Amino acid sequence: MTFIAQVEDLGRLEASGRLRKLSLPSGLDFSSNDYLGFAGQGRLRPAAMAALDAGVALGSGGSRLLRGNHLEHEELEAEAAALFGAESALFFSSGFAANTALFGALPQRGDLVLYDALIHASVHDGLRAGRAIAEAFPHNDVEAAADAIVRYRAKGGVGRVFLAVESLYSMDGDLAPLAEFKALADAHDGVLIVDEAHATGVFGEAGKGLAAGLGGAENVITLRTLGKALGCEGALLFLPKAARDFLINRARGFIFSTAPSPFSARLALAALRLNAEADELRAELQARIATAREALAKIGYALSPSQIQPLVLGEEARTMRAAAQLQAEGFDIRGVRPPTVPTGTSRLRLSLTLNTERADLDRLFQMLPQVLA
């Protein structure tokens, strides 16, 4: 069998310089989402060994609604909900799986989902599978979202309004005005959905994220992934119990998927507990963010308030040349091109983690001016 159309498509990608290939990690980590070094520094290894010694199952054996629901899943969800002040939690194999399940099932026909223009691809996939009306609003523009609600009501829309945002955006490193979006949701009897993937572990009291103060509200749903700063895998949705029960009954991505392993659930619980005690690691990461902001300001780049620093170069070829130069010098920094980012905004995504030394950071910032010249 030949895949002529697919081969032709790959040829077009290669001709445009957008063909992607897998590569093994190499060089100093300035590209991963392992912000606190939980994965790279083996901080979860003792918990993993203890789980193995205790005989925790490495596979779930089925979906959660068949024989795949284990005590480890329920312990994780109960403790996580209590930790983040939510009524309930639901464990998924990944943030992508959680978002597609949530947006594909919870908003109903006639409801309106307003989503930030830079929202993650998983939300788009979930919305395509769902039945609600979906509309993007300009990035972080609360007023534009409010105007969209007014238009929806003026046209006779009577459904529920959902506002979907990220608290910290993965390619720009900027933060959402969560308090303003929460006020907008309150004013229109709406639901605010906040993806905390890149904020969990890095920001907030005890690393609870930027939306931690909203966790107990009846009209707030939060997603916290476990594969970034928390160093393992999976994701947790924090939501009212009625919404959780609805997803268990209606979300196809939950019903028809083999459950995450009990081992993953036990490791996730260990990561949450470790995160709660990781203030010293967060302080070190914040110090590196401050160092990066100071260095980047000197060479004229916009400043992100987070561990994600985008160096927007615009041109794709220039971006990939710069990435190759830095990789040749031992820095694992990746170029990011469309369609991951908008056309004309190709960039180096500089990710600050604790998998490097301060001296590595200093050396990087000594090299950047000549690479970016």
Q: Which domains does the chain have, with CATH numbers?
A: 19-36+278-372 (3.90.1150.10), 45-276 (3.40.640.10)
130 touches 103 (CB < 8 A):
yes
Among 208, 228, 316, 332, the active-site one is 228
CA distances from 252 to 91, 244, 286 (A): 14, 13, 39
pLDDT higher than 90, residue 15: no
Per-residue pLDDT at 1: 62
Which of 166, 172, 174, 196 does the annotation list as catalytic? 166
pLDDT for the residue 19: 86
List pLDDT tens digits, range 292-327.
999 999 999 888 999 999 999 999 999 999 999 999
Catalytic-residue membership of 195: yes
Q: What is the dihedral of CA 111, 117, 123, 128, to 10 degrees?
A: 60
pLDDT of 18 reads 85
Helix residue spans in 239-357 (DSSP H): 241-250, 252-255, 262-276, 279-298, 316-328
- pLDDT category of residue 368 using cuts at 50, 70 and 90: very high
Torsion angle, CA of 311/313/318/319, rounded to 10 degrees? 40
One of 70, 120, 188, 208 is an active-site residue; which one?
120
Confirm whether 120 is a catalytic residue: yes
Cβ neighbour number for residue 155 with a 10 Å cutoff:
8
What confidence tens digit (pLDDT) does each residue in 30-65 have? 999 999 999 999 999 999 999 999 999 999 999 999
Active site (annotated) includes residue 166: yes
Q: Which of 60, 170, 264, 275 is catalytic?
A: 170
Q: In the numeric block, which tokens belong to residue 268?
A: 């996730």
Please confirm, yes or no, whether 33 is among the known catalytic residues: yes
Nearest Cα neighbor of 122 from 100, 103, 142, 137 is 100
Q: How far apart are CA 247 and CA 235, in angstroms?
A: 15
Nearest in space to 306 (alpha carbons), one of 353, 362, 347:
353
124 is catalytic: no
pTM: 0.95
**Rounded to whole angstroms, how far apart are CA atoms 154 and 6?**
45
Give the active site residue among 29, 72, 174, 195. Answer: 195
Question: pLDDT band at 20, cuts 50/70/90?
Answer: confident
- Element of type H or E holding 331: strand 331-332
